[in-house]
């Protein structure tokens, strides 16, 4: 009997897997996949639960990978939800709950598609093929011990994927209107300025770290870092906080901090932007005499999967099932595809993401069934 991706989605939503809690989601999937003949391995690291599963021969000539996560963001104010956030309630054709778009439904759809595909496909058609799942519990968190841990384990074990499709919610308006063929990189700068505390009426006896910090931020934001590239929008620099903890109006603070995030295109790297920022820090520190420390956290580099057979395969399947040719995009935030791109060509395609991370996260159940059909068609095309 075919696996119902809607029922599986609801069962996964009922697992309270807020990062980094496993919540029973991976246990549920491991049991289902093992019963279907997948070789399953838990690759837990640093308190994070992850699952690797493979059907078919190790290092097969054609190995199709699916990537996804079962962890979810916190629910926020539970009283503000119309339905309980971990109910998995289905009402009037809509599935409710945290993870209904991001992305327990995507995981359910590709698991259901793959399990049914291997049951229904003659063994000779997959003689030198394999299907792999990389399912993490750390995508919504620091993302250091999730997909990265599984990829590290795969390298050590000699496990490979030829291509990978990540089931993130990529469709802006209707299912099928967008594929992510790349993502911008992300780097965060934590800036700490150390001055000399004093009375505001005697500025010559103090050294104001806020003045230096504001000068530095102004220089960072003075002009665009670029005007975009062939495949990406312009790089975006955003200040996210400036603080010194000073409650007094007549005191020059001794210390101030700020945080800046840059989402960058392929004109830059995390290292090149860090070098640029360090140069500005040195200029301002030299001009003001205020010591400024910079800590850079690079959460991912930009990447781009060029159009070709893999992109065409996914696009053709979407068009056949959804009646729309998807836009090829590099917009949006980061995902675990930024790690997988070092292993093999990677794309992202999934549901409409309008309610992800919101109160009352929900999705039309018809989309989940349709997404399974798209993934099934992709597998049939890949192994044809």
Backbone angles phi, psi at 11, to 5 degrees: -65, -35
The structure tokens listed for 362 are 């929900």
Question: Element (H or E) spanning 54, and its range?
Answer: strand 51-56
- DSSP 3-state assignment of 295? strand
Question: How far lies 342's CA from each of 112, 155, 181, in Å?
Answer: 27, 11, 14
Please indicate whether residue 120 is annotated as part of the active site: no
CA distance 3 to 12: 14
Please indicate whether residue 139 is annotated as part of the active site: yes
CA distance 258 to 216: 10
Q: Which residues on neighbouring strands pair with residue 163, listed in sequence order? A: 64
Cβ-in-10-Å burial (0-12, 13-18, 19+) of 308 comes to exposed
User: Which residue do the tokens 């246990």 mark?
Assistant: 27
Among the listed residues 22, 30, 139, 361, the single catalytic one is: 139
Among the listed residues 22, 30, 71, 159, the single catalytic one is: 71
CA distance 156 to 154: 5
Comparing C-alpha atoms, which of 372, 367, 376 is closest to residue 90? 367
- End-to-end CA, the chain: 23
Q: Are 336 and 214 in contact (CB under 8 A)?
A: no
Please list the active-site residues. Answer: 71, 139
């Amino acid at each position: 009997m075919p696996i119902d991706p809607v029922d599986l989605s609801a069962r996964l939503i009922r697992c309270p897997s807020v990062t980094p809690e496993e919540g029973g989601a991976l246990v549920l999937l491991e049991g289902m996949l093992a019963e279907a003949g997948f070789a399953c391995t838990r690759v837990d690291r640093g308190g994070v639960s992850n699952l690797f599963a493979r059907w078919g021969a190790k290092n097969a000539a054609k190995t199709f990978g699916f990537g996804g996560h079962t962890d979810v963001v916190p629910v926020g104010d539970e009283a503000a939800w119309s339905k309980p956030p971990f109910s998995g309630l289905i009402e009037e054709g809509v599935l409710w709950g945290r993870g209904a778009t991001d992305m327990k439904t995507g995981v359910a759809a590709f698991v259901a598609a793959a399990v049914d595909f291997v049951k229904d496909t003659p063994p000779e058609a997959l003689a030198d093929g394999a299907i792999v799942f990389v399912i993490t519990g750390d995508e919504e968190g620091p993302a250091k011990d999730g997909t990265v841990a599984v990829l590290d384990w795969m390298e050590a074990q000699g496990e490979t994927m030829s291509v990978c499709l990540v089931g993130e919610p990529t469709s802006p308006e209707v299912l099928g209107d967008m594929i992510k063929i790349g993502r911008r990189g992300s780097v965060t700068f934590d800036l700490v300025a150390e001055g000399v505390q004093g009375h505001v009426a005697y500025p010559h006896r103090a050294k104001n770290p806020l003045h230096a910090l504001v000068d530095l931020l102004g220089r960072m934001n003075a002009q665009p870092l670029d005007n975009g590239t062939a495949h990406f929008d312009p790089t975006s620099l955003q200040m996210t906080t400036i603080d010194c903890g000073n409650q007094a109006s007549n005191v020059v603070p001794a210390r101030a901090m700020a945080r800046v995030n840059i989402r960058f295109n392929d004109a830059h790297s995390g290292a090149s932007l860090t070098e640029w920022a360090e140069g500005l820090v040195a200029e301002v520190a030299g001009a003001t005499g205020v010591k400024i420390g910079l800590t850079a956290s690079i959460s991912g580099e930009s990447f781009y999967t060029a159009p070709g057979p893999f992109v065409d395969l996914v696009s053709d399947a979407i068009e056949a099932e959804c009646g729309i040719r998807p836009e090829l995009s590099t917009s949006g935030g980061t995902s675990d595809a930024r790690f997988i791109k070092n292993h093999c060509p990677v794309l992202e395609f999934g549901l409409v993401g309008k309610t992800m991370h919101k109160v009352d996260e929900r999705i039309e159940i018809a989309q989940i069934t349709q997404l399974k059909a798209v993934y099934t068609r992709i597998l049939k095309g890949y192994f044809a």
